Amino acid sequence: MGIIAVPLGYLLTFIYNLVGNYGISLIILTVLVKLILYPLYFKQIKSTASMSTLQPKMKALQEKYKNDKEKLNEEMTKLYREEKFNPMGGCLPMLIQFPIIMGLFTLLRNPMKYIADDKMLFAVHQSFLWIKDLGQPDLWILPIAAAIATYFSFAMTQQLTGQNDMMGGQAKSMNLVMKYFFPLSILWLARSYPAGLAIYWAGGQFLQIFLNIRMNKYRAKLKEEQELEEKRKRAEKQLEKMKRARMKG
């Protein structure tokens, strides 16, 4: 991920030259990256949430055509077309986000390996708030904050995407384990890596919580619109039936 870490290092250096504080530079970098990736995240969540709302219809088709795979694929394609849903819509944004996130992780884990500016050698060891050296691990406060933010962010993302509703028993149990195991892993990692990396992760997760709140409002609005659309379609079908009955009469 060094290919991505190097340009991110230039960006971090540029921000530092403007503000003159490494801790604040990390926070600004975190916000910038989150805002840049937000449209991709929005598209990913929208696609996954749409999949959740389609689950009942998909299960009904799978049950109806369980012995006819060709017809099932045909009806599934028809359903996707009618609902304007792309099954791969949530994958591409995630694939684009992942290298950028890993590039940031690589950069902040060992910043001087990817930053050419010599003055950043001293910057990465600056103090910030209660942290005496951002190049060294903060053993408790930041790791705990990062773990708590990760827990709520992960739980809210699960709720947004409706993952638990789409999963079976074993997968649902695994997801529940991850809900607690992942934050604990972040707690352990944050105590091992430079505090600058922990600031990025904790700040990013807290920002993610606010983005998830925004997305939750959008999903509620989307669900309301879908319910209204379903009612409209049912009403049109009912009117069509009434017209046909009158014509026969």
Among 122, 226, 144, CA closest to 188: 144
What are the b/e assignments for 202-241, b being 16+ CB within 10 Å? bbbbbbbeebbeebeeebeeeeeeeeeeeeeeeeeeeeee
Burial of 42 from C-beta contacts in 10 A (0-12 / 13-18 / 19+): middle
Rounded Cα gap, residues 39 and 100, in angstroms: 14
By three-state DSSP, how is residue 134 classified?
coil
Rounded Cα gap, residues 115 and 206, in angstroms: 27
What pLDDT, in 10s, does the model give residues 137-186? Answer: 888 899 999 999 989 888 887 776 655 555 555 656 776 777 788 889 88
pLDDT computed for residue 25 by the predictor: 92
Highest mean pLDDT among 40-44, 91-95, 170-174, 192-196: 192-196
pLDDT at 96 over 70: no
pLDDT at 28 over 90: yes
Least confident piece of the model among 21-35, 74-88, 118-132, 159-173:
159-173
CA 108 to chain centre: 21
Q: Vertex 61, ends 59 and 65: CA angle to 5°?
A: 120
Least confident piece of the model among 1-5, 26-30, 177-181, 195-199:
1-5
Among 161, 141, 149, 203, CA closest to 44: 161
- Average pLDDT score over residue span 56-84: 75
What are the b/e assignments for 62-100, b being 16+ CB within 10 Å? eeebeeeeeebeebbeeebeeeeeeeebbeebeeebeeb
- Inter-residue contact 138 to 193 (CB < 8 Å): no
Among 136, 129, 119, CA closest to 23: 129
Rounded Cα gap, residues 105 and 200, in angstroms: 9
- What is the number of structural domains in the chain? 1
Rounded Cα gap, residues 181 and 185, in angstroms: 6
* pLDDT mean across residues, the chain: 78
Residue range of the domain that includes 162: 1-247
- Inter-residue contact 155 to 212 (CB < 8 Å): no
pTM above 0.85, yes or no: no
Burial of 130 from C-beta contacts in 10 A (0-12 / 13-18 / 19+): exposed
